[in-house]
Amino acid sequence: MKPYIVEEFSNGILLFTINRPEKRNAVNYEIMDGLEHALNLANNKKVKVFAITGAGDLAFCSGGDLSAFHCLRTEDEAFEMLNRMSDLLVKLFYLQKPTVALLNGTAVGGGCELASACDFRIARKNVKAGFIQGTLAITTGWGGGTFVSEKLLPANAMKMLMEASLYDTKQLEDLGFVQMIADGDLLESSKHFLEKMLRLDVNVLKAYKMMFINKWEKAGLKERVKEEVRRCSELWEDEAHHKQVAKFLGIK
């Protein structure tokens, strides 16, 4: 089974699906390769909107695959992995077209960072999401802390980051993290949400997106993400983090 699926629809939506439901759609190096491939395809002039979702109905993305990344012990080893994924999420954040995360299931840790890199988030009812990295004695490390601080009111962004908790769909909507709660089919709901955008010429969409990209550039977003990655790498090396990961994986 291919770990990811890329589909292009006639209405201009390019959909990237993490296809690892048995691993709660956790990110490994194959998923990183797939996301990079999809982002390159998203630059095609026929694509008006880039969307991301997960396979199944349990998880959008559970963050980094701890079974794959548990072997990373030192600050330098962690930085290499975190930096690669953060570069991809910055590329997603800066994509010159609207982007949307379709939260088909739980988005935790790095999964919440992936969702925060998108312009919009549409969630199925009863979905939960949160930046739970603090429970593993680390911070966000893929740029999510920086992204969410640009998207939400400061107090709401701080709440989500510092509480390291999961929030239900209504709470996520109240915080401003989710823009729409879907009743039925998630992809169909997203088409309804994006309907008016998809009517516009792609160059109009790009021109408006560039207004925000220029703002983020002036705010030094890329440099702030690098600092976020470095802070997480430092904490990653600490014994406190390794103990929490071992506890989570059931390793004695």
Mean pLDDT of the chain: 95
Topology at the third CATH level for domain 4-185: 2-enoyl-CoA Hydratase; Chain A, domain 1 (3.90.226)
Q: What is the pTM of this model?
A: 0.96
pLDDT tens-place string over residues 82-126: 999 999 999 999 999 999 999 999 999 999 999 999 999 999 999
Q: Are 54 and 60 in contact (CB under 8 A)?
A: yes
Q: Where are the domains of the chain?
A: 4-185
For residue 251, what pLDDT is reported?
Answer: 62
The residue assigned the tokens 């999964």 is 111
The residue assigned the tokens 């291919």 is 2
pLDDT tens-place string over residues 192-249: 999 999 999 999 999 999 999 999 999 999 999 999 999 999 999 998 888 887 887 7
Burial class, 81, CB count within 10 angstroms (exposed 0-12 / middle 13-18 / buried 19+): buried
Percent of the chain exceeding pLDDT 70 equals 99
- Coil, helix or strand at residue 54: strand
Sheet of 59-61: strands edge to edge? 59-61, 106-108, 129-130
Tokens of 27: 């990110």
Instruction: Give the ranges where the chain is alpha helix by DSSP (H).
Output: 29-41, 66-69, 75-93, 110-116, 144-151, 154-163, 169-175, 186-199, 202-218, 221-237, 239-249
Rounded Cα distance between 65 and 56, Å, is 17
**Residue 252 pLDDT > 60, yes or no?**
no
Q: State the greatest distance between any 2 C-alpha atoms of the chain, in Å, as a whole number.
A: 57
